[in-house]
Amino acid sequence: MTRLNTLLTSAALFAALGVTGAMAEVTVLGWPGGPEEAGLRKAADAYNATATDADKVKLIFFNRDGFFDKLAADLAAGSTDFDVNLLATYALGRYAPFMDPITLPDASKATFPEKVLATMQYDGKQYGIPTDLSLHFMYYRKDLVEKLLADADWKAKYGEISEKYLGKKLEPKDPDAWTWEDWMAMALFFTKSINSDSPTRYGTVLQMKNLLFNMMVWQSTARAQGGDWMNDKGEITVDSPAYRTALDIYKKLYDEGTSPKDSTTYEFAEANAAFGAGQAATMLQWNAAFGDLDNKDKTPAVAGKIGTVAPPAGPEGRFTHIHGLGLGINKASKNKEGAVKFLNWLGTPDAMVIYAKAGGSPALSDAVVAKVSTERPDLVKLGQYAGSYGFVMHGGTAAKALQVYELQAKEFTAYWSGGKSLDEALAAAKTGMADLLKP
């Protein structure tokens, strides 16, 4: 009898806990284990401090490993375990059928630049509030570039090398004025095997591993030449002269030895190791790398000597790939009203200031970023670059956008490593993309 009572009491307790969990709280599934989680926790605490019991937010987190696949399976299964869930620009099309579009509150239009809001749009509809943004900086060694700009002998050598390898005599320029050709000349000049006076072994470090994220890093090169995944008619244009030029820029730099031999296996960490060792003069890399590279304890060889600018300009202008993380509403949610309230609050300047100060990386409008610029100076450039140079490829939020990146990674790395000709790689990419992006 005692055991029966214990069981009944335990059951009642579990039931009570379950009821508490389901008491119209807003459950938010966030991106785990990084500054995004820290930011969201602070933001949720601030929101809960004033929200009614029915609107309070409860946070849950999966493991990062396989996060998007698990999320896709949960959304497709109509899970009601969360009301608000994480979104990523490149997976928008995959999740859109299982999410509710939102109406942006006026406050969010003042909080974020238009291009940043667009990272959460699919098929003309807004699916989320953008919380974090990733884009690319051109990292360079300030000390070396300054010397090059001031030293007559180095300048003369720079002209000789650019003439020999690029067919035209170039003058060194300030990094903020670089074209892709200037960057190539810089990479050639600072390569020891080409210029024995170079203080670095390599002029740059390219991320050429067969990995979808490396395509995101590289594709700013293609966009600056005028490249896009498809035209307005929906035809795949990946075999355009712009793509050929952009692919050849990497191919030439790799073949001339301006980047480490193993670059075809390099991704974020390996590239940072090369640049952080002080053996690469430039690097096109994610904005997230700056903190560690400029930290004297972690990378003493280069900390304090790093400059960052937006990626170089091409004939069509200057561009950086951007993608965002954000939060949107699960179509199967049982508390959409509470979810909308939370998202409306999250899009306000006050909420984003809390989020940014706690570690998040939102791209904010000038007026809002001014409120955090002392604590987070990196966010100033983030917002500026996203607003001025950010782009998303035509089709970059499609349901199979991730597969497109995977396909490009396989085909383009085949070209760079000598496994396929340019024509073969582009033809395969075009055929595959046509299949993946067909309406």
Partner 1 sequence: MPRTSRFEGRLLIAPLTAFLIALLGFPLVLDIIYSISHVGFENIRAPELTGFSNYAKAIADPEFWAAAWFSLRFGLIVAVIQVVAGLGLAVFLAPLFAKRPWLIALLMLPMMVAPALVGLMYRLILHEFVGAVPYYLLEWYGDFPAFLGRDWAFTTLVTVETLQWTPFALLILHSSYAAVSPDIREAASLDGARGRRLFLNIDLPLMLPAIGITFFLRFIDSFRVFDNLYTLVGPGAGGSTTSMSIYIYQAFFKVGDIGLAVAASMLLLVASFMVLWVINGLTARKAPL
Binding site for partner 1 (CB under 8 A): 66, 69, 72-73, 76-77, 94, 97, 208-212, 260-262, 264-265, 270, 273-274, 276-277, 279, 400, 402-403, 406, 410-411, 413-420
Nearer Cβ to partner 1 (54/73): 73
Q: Which CB atom, from 67 or from 290, has the smaller least distance to partner 1?
A: 67
Q: Are 95 and 71 in contact (CB under 8 A)?
A: yes
Instruction: Assess contact for 84 and 29: CB atoms under 8 A.
Output: yes
3-state secondary structure of 382: helix
For residue 328, report the phi and psi dihedrals to the nearest 5 degrees: -135, -175
Q: How far is CA 311 from the centre of its chain?
A: 14
Minimum distance from residue 57 beta carbon to partner 1 (Å): 27
Integer Cα distance of 224 and 401 in angstroms: 20
SS (H, E, C) 39-64: HHHHHHHHHHHHCCHHHCEEEEECCC
Provide, rounded to whole angstroms, the least separation between the CB of residue 310 and partner 1.
26
Nearer to partner 1, 61 or 213 (CB): 213
In the bound state with partner 1, the residue whose beta carbon lies nearer, of 146 and 262, is: 262
Region at 124 (left for phi over 0; alpha for psi -120 to 50; beta for the rest): left
Give the nearest distance from C-beta 420 to partner 1 in angstroms.
Answer: 6
Q: Is the CB of 162 or the CB of 408 nearer to partner 1?
A: 408
Tell me whether residue 128 or residue 260 sits nearer to partner 1 (CB atom): 260
Q: Which is nearer to partner 1, 43 or 414 (CB)?
A: 414
Structure tokens given for 115: 């291009």
Q: In angstroms, what is the minimal distance from the CB of 349 to partner 1?
A: 36
Short-list 82, 20, 128, 119, CA closest to 336 = 82
Residue 193 beta carbon to partner 1: minimum distance, rounded to whole angstroms: 10
Nearest CB to partner 1, comparing residues 209 and 318: 209
What whole-number distance in Å separates Cα of residue 112 and Cα of residue 349?
9
Name every residue whose Cβ is closer than 8 Å to that of residue 326 and which is 6 or more positions away in sequence: 86, 87, 88, 119, 120, 127, 128, 129, 130, 131, 132
Helix (H, G, I), strand (E, B) or coil at 335: coil
- Least Å distance, CB 417 to partner 1, is 4
- Kindly tell me which of 373 and 417 has the beta carbon lying closer to partner 1: 417
Task: List, in order, residues 6 or more apart from 98 with CB less than 8 Å away.
Answer: 75, 76, 78, 330, 331, 332
**Would you call 256 exposed, middle or buried from its count of C-beta atoms within 10 A (0-12, 13-18, 19+)?**
middle
Q: How far is the CB of 392 from partner 1 (least distance, A)?
A: 21
**Of 48 and 259, CB closest to partner 1:** 259
Min CB(69)–partner 1 separation in Å: 6
Scanning the structure block, which residue is given the tokens 């019991």? Answer: 53
CB of 320 to partner 1, least distance (A): 25
For the bound state, the minimum distance from the C-beta of residue 105 to partner 1, rounded and expressed in Å, comes to 30
For residue 137, give Cα distances in angstroms to 159, 272, 286, 333: 26, 13, 6, 38
Q: How far apart are the first and last CA of the chain?
A: 65
The radius of gyration of the chain's CA atoms, rounded to the nearest angstrom, is 24
Please report how close the Cβ of residue 92 comes to partner 1 at its closest, in angstroms: 14
- What whole-number distance in Å separates Cα of residue 379 and Cα of residue 363? 7
Q: Which is nearer to partner 1, 46 or 402 (CB)?
A: 402
